[in-house]
Amino acid sequence: VNDVVVVGAGVIGLLAARELAAAGAGVVVLDRSRPARESSWAGGGILSPLYPWRYPAPVNRLAQWSQGIYRELCDSLRDSSGIDPEWIPSGMLVVDIDDRESIERWAAAFSMRFEYIDTRTVRELEPELGLEPDLALWLPEVAQVRNPRLVKALLESLQRTGVEIRPDSPVQGWRTSGDRVTAVQTPSGELHADNFVAASGAWTAGVLESTGLRLPFQPVRGQMLLFRGEPDRVRRISLYRGRYVIPRRDGRVLVGSTLEFVGFDKHTTDEALADLRQSAFELVPALVELPMERHWAGLRPGSPDGVPMIGPHPALTNLYICTGHFRNGVVLGPASARLLADQLLGRPPILDTSPYLADKFMKS
Ligand SMILES: Cc1cc2nc3c(=O)[nH]c(=O)nc-3n(C[C@H](O)[C@H](O)[C@H](O)COP(=O)(O)OP(=O)(O)OC[C@H]3O[C@@H](n4cnc5c(N)ncnc54)[C@H](O)[C@@H]3O)c2cc1C
């Protein structure tokens, strides 16, 4: 019997597996197809919510905790896997500031450094910006990771430490006995364990449906573009009207993203392409000259206010749920995984668990 079976090999399932393995548990991670190729691969890797002051405190608490350890996490993953997740403190320039009072309240509550800057300073920080705001917000501590590398590094480092990761293993049901799960059911048979973690991203509501749980989560499609440029030409994460550019270390620039409620459809569309290109050229006119390499879509695990569910299933005591990270799973992941592991292992939790427990979601 395994100690823990984790269902879903996205950033959340992998970080949870890492926490549990570090505590000495024997962990098997199942993915229905190729591990780490869904939302966690498709995302942007900004290590901050966009306009974080618009989010409820439970989201910001997880973000703050993760931001505090991200650099160290990436160093440790690089050393243990040989793959560099490219943690870079690019800083984030918010070109459209709305509500200064909310910004200041948020910054004070979560000890975030911020500066209001004028056009000249904006130009110094990001000479390629196509907009000339009288006033912008500069968040110098916001960093990024290259999320496809982060998840690759996680996979490699977990495998090196003895965690088994099984691709092509969709979980189709749960075998239960009283208030406990005894096994997950897959096409190749049942897998027994002492504890189970459902971390199946946008698919989690479906995965848990047969347990009698109706979760208010839904997939939210996001499309992204990738341009190929030279290193250091675009230097900062810039955000304007919900659209952003993210410069990678090798000169590639990501532009995102759309927010679409279209079920589990992961196709890209011509409308989004045109729309994202327009935003891209408005933010950084130099992108017009650069070749566009790729256009893709991912399905975010959408939750009502962006607050993830982290904790035990309300009826099955050894089944834990960690999902609903919506637009912020990469930044929230380390804290969510720790909080999940704390509950599963009976350790004192890093944060008050109550905003993340299942009953909060059932009432909403
Ligand atoms: C365009 C876009 C941009 C984004 N930008 C950012 C950003 O800048 N910063 C940030 O923090 N977040 C960002 N996000 C959000 C972030 O990517 C997600 O919140 C996060 O990846 C969710 O991780 P997850 O592990 O829950 O889900 P996923 O990565 O989707 O992983 C879930 C896994 O579960 C597996 N699975 C599903 N069903 C089953 C089953 N029945 N059995 C076994 N396995 C199953 C899937 O195959 C998948 O591998 C972005 C997302 C998108 C789409």
Instruction: State the pLDDT at residue 29.
Output: 98
Ligand 1: does its nearest atom lie under 6 Å from the Cβ of 226?
A: no
Q: Are 197 and 180 in contact (CB under 8 A)?
A: no
Beta-bridge partners for 225: 255, 295
d(CA 285, CA 199): 39
Distance set, CA 236 to CA 5, 244, 246, 258 (Å): 39, 10, 7, 20
Angstrom distance (rounded) from CA 196 to CA 340: 11
Q: Which pLDDT does position 364 carry in this prediction?
A: 47
Closest ligand 1 atom, residue 144 Cα? 8
Nearest Cα residue to atom 52 of ligand 1: 43
CA distance 260 to 311: 28
Residue with tokens 């946008």: 202
Residue 38 alpha carbon to ligand 1 centre in Å: 5
Query: CA–CA separation, 248 vs 323, rounded Å?
Result: 27
Beta-bridge mates of residue 255: 225, 245
52 lines ligand 1 (CB under 6 A): no
User: pLDDT by residue for the chain (364 residues), tens digit each?
Assistant: 779 999 999 999 999 999 999 999 999 999 999 999 999 999 999 999 999 999 999 999 999 999 999 999 999 999 999 999 999 999 999 999 989 999 999 999 999 999 999 999 999 999 999 999 999 999 999 999 999 999 999 999 999 999 999 999 999 999 999 999 999 999 999 999 999 999 999 999 999 999 999 999 999 999 999 999 999 999 999 999 999 999 999 999 999 999 999 999 999 999 999 999 999 999 999 999 999 999 999 999 999 999 999 999 999 999 999 999 999 999 999 999 999 999 999 999 999 999 999 998 875 4
In sequence order, which residues have a C-beta less than 8 Å from that of residue 47 and are 6 or more positions away? 63, 66, 67, 70, 87, 142, 143, 144, 145, 330, 331
pLDDT of residue 363: 54
The C-alpha atoms of residue 211 and residue 242 are separated, in whole angstroms, by 37
Ligand 1 site, residue 207, Cβ cutoff 6 A: yes
CA distances from 24 to 27, 79, 98 (A): 9, 20, 47
Q: What's the gap in Å between 187 CA and the centre of ligand 1?
A: 23
Stated pTM of the model: 0.98
Dihedral in degrees, nearest 10, Cα atoms 270, 276, 278, 284 = -150
Q: Is residue 18 lining ligand 1, measured as CB closer than 6 Å?
A: no
CA distances 292 to 54, 227, 254, 276, 307, Å, are 32, 4, 10, 12, 34
Report whether residue 91 contacts ligand 1, using a CB cutoff of 6 Å. no
Atom 26 of ligand 1 has which residue's CA nearest to it?
Answer: 201
